[in-house]
Amino acid sequence: MEDLKTKQKNVISDETIEYVGILAKLELSDEEKERAKRDMGEMLDYIDKLNELDTDGVEPMSHVFPVNNVFREDVVTNGDGSEATLANAPERKDQGFKVPKTIG
Amino acid sequence: MSKTYETVIGLEVHVELATKTKIFCGCSTAFGGAPNTHTCPVCTGMPGSLPVLNKQVVEYAMAVGLATNCTITQYCKFDRKNYFYPDNPQNYQISQLYLPICRNGGVEIETSAGKKVVGIHEIHMEEDAGKLVHDEWEDVSIVDYNRSGVPLIEIVSEPDMRSAEEVIAYLEKLRLIIQYLGASDCKLNEGSMRADVNLSVRGVGETEFGTRTEMKNLNSFKAIARAIEGERARQIELLEEGKPVIQETRRWDDNKEYSYAMRSKEDAQDYRYFPEPDLVPISISDEWIARVKARQPEMRTEKMERYQREFGLPAYDAEILTGDKAFADLFEATVALCGRPKKVSNWIMVETIRMLKDNGMDPDEISFSPEHFAKLVELADEGAVTNTVAKEVFELVFREDIDPDAYVEEKGLKTVSDEGALRAAVEKVIAENPQSVEDYRNGKEKAIGFLVGQTMKAMKGKANPGLVNQLLRELL
Ligand SMILES: [Zn+2]
Judged by average pLDDT, the poorest of A70-79, B181-190, B361-370, B428-437 is B428-437
Instruction: Look at residues B41, B7, B3 and name the one whose alpha carbon lies nearest to residue B24.
Output: B41
- Mark yes or no for CB contact B53/A70 under 8 Å: yes
* Closest-approach residue (CA) in chain A for B271: A23
Instruction: Look at residues B395, B404, B444, B453 and name the one whose alpha carbon lies nearest to residue B425.
Output: B453
Look at residue B239 and tell me whether its pLDDT is greater than 50: yes
Q: Is B268 on the interface with A (CB under 8 A)?
A: yes
Element (H, E) at B93: strand B92-95
∠ CA B331-B333-B337, rounded to 5°? 110
Which residues contact residue B167 at a Cβ distance below 8 angstroms, ignoring those fewer than 6 apart? B9, B11, B161, B195, B197, B224, B225, B228
pLDDT, tens digit, 9 for 90 and up, residues A4-38? 545 678 889 999 998 888 888 888 899 999 999 99
Domain spans, chain A: 4-51
Q: Are B259 and B227 in contact (CB under 8 A)?
A: yes
d(CA B232, CA B211): 12
Q: Are B464 and B419 in contact (CB under 8 A)?
A: no
- What residues of chain A have any CB closer than 8 angstroms to a CB in chain B? 22-25, 62-63, 65, 67-78, 80-82, 84-86, 88, 93-104
Of the residues A74, A92, A93, A101, the best mutation for testing chain B's interface (the one with the most B CB atoms within 10 Å of its CB) is A74
Q: What is the structure's pLDDT at B268?
A: 55
pLDDT, tens digit, 9 for 90 and up, residues B425-438? 888 888 888 888 88
How far away, in angstroms, is B13 Cα from ligand 1 center? 24
Q: How far is B212 from chain A (nearest CA, A)?
A: 22
Calculate the alpha carbon distances from B82 to A24, A37, B447 in Å. 9, 21, 79
Query: B204-218 in b/e burial notation, b at 16+ Cβ within 10 A?
Result: eeeeeebebbbbbbb
> SS in 3 state form for B317-353?
HHHHHHCCHHHHHHHHHHHHHHCCHHHHHHHHHHHHH
3-state secondary structure (DSSP) of residue A13? coil
**Residue B386 DSSP class:** -
What average pLDDT does range B463-472 have in this prediction?
81
* B264 vs A contacts (CB less than 8 Å): 102-103
Domain spans, chain B: 5-288, 298-410, 419-475
Domain boundaries A4-51, CATH class: mainly alpha
Q: What is the structure's pLDDT at A63?
A: 78
What average pLDDT does range B137-163 have in this prediction?
95
Calculate the alpha carbon distances from B3 to B242, B245, B458 in Å. 13, 17, 69
Judged by average pLDDT, the poorest of B192-196, B399-403, B418-422 is B418-422
- Mark yes or no for CB contact B26/A71 under 8 Å: no
Q: What is the DSSP string of B228-279?
A: HHHHHHHHHHHHHTTPPPP--EEEEETTTTEEEE--GGGS------EE-TTS
Instruction: Look at residues B312, B301, B404 and name the one whose alpha carbon lies nearest to residue B351.
Output: B404
∠ CA B108-B112-B117, rounded to 5°? 20
Q: Are B170 and B155 in contact (CB under 8 A)?
A: no
What average pLDDT does range B222-246 have in this prediction?
93
- Mark yes or no for CB contact A72/B55 under 8 Å: yes
Look at residue B384 and tell me whether its pLDDT is greater than 60: yes
The domain B419-475 is classified under which CATH number: 3.40.50.170, 1.10.10.410, 2.40.50.100, 1.20.1530.20? 1.10.10.410
Q: Are B202 and B6 in contact (CB under 8 A)?
A: yes
Q: Is B146 on the interface with A (CB under 8 A)?
A: no
Q: What is the structure's pLDDT at B1?
A: 46
Of the residues B22, B23, B37, the best mutation for testing chain A's interface (the one with the most A CB atoms within 10 Å of its CB) is B37
Q: What is the largest CA-CA distance in chain A?
A: 58
Q: Is B280 on the interface with A (CB under 8 A)?
A: yes
Q: Are B386 and B415 in contact (CB under 8 A)?
A: yes
Long-range contacts of B84-87 (CB under 8 A, 24+ apart): B84/A24, B84/A25, B84/B265, B85/A102, B85/B129, B85/B264, B85/B265, B86/A97, B86/A99, B86/A102, B86/B130, B86/B132, B86/B141, B86/B143, B87/A102, B87/A104, B87/B129, B87/B130, B87/B131, B87/B132, B87/B143, B87/B148
Q: How far is A3 from chain B (nearest CA, A)?
A: 32
- Mark yes or no for CB contact A70/B280 under 8 Å: yes
Beta bridge partners of B196: B12
Q: Could you tell me the pLDDT band of residue B461, with boundaries at 50, 70 and 90?
A: confident
Predicted TM-score (pTM) of this structure: 0.81
**Residue B361 DSSP class:** -
How far away, in angstroms, is B27 Cα from ligand 1 center? 4
Of the residues A15, A40, A102, the best mutation for testing chain B's interface (the one with the most B CB atoms within 10 Å of its CB) is A102
Q: How far is B297 from chain A (nearest CA, A)?
A: 20
d(CA B198, CA B202): 14
Q: What is the structure's pLDDT at A104?
A: 53
Beta bridge partners of B120: B105, B157
Q: What is the structure's pLDDT at B263?
A: 60
Q: What is the structure's pLDDT at B353?
A: 96
pLDDT, tens digit, 9 for 90 and up, residues B263-281? 644 455 688 999 999 999 9
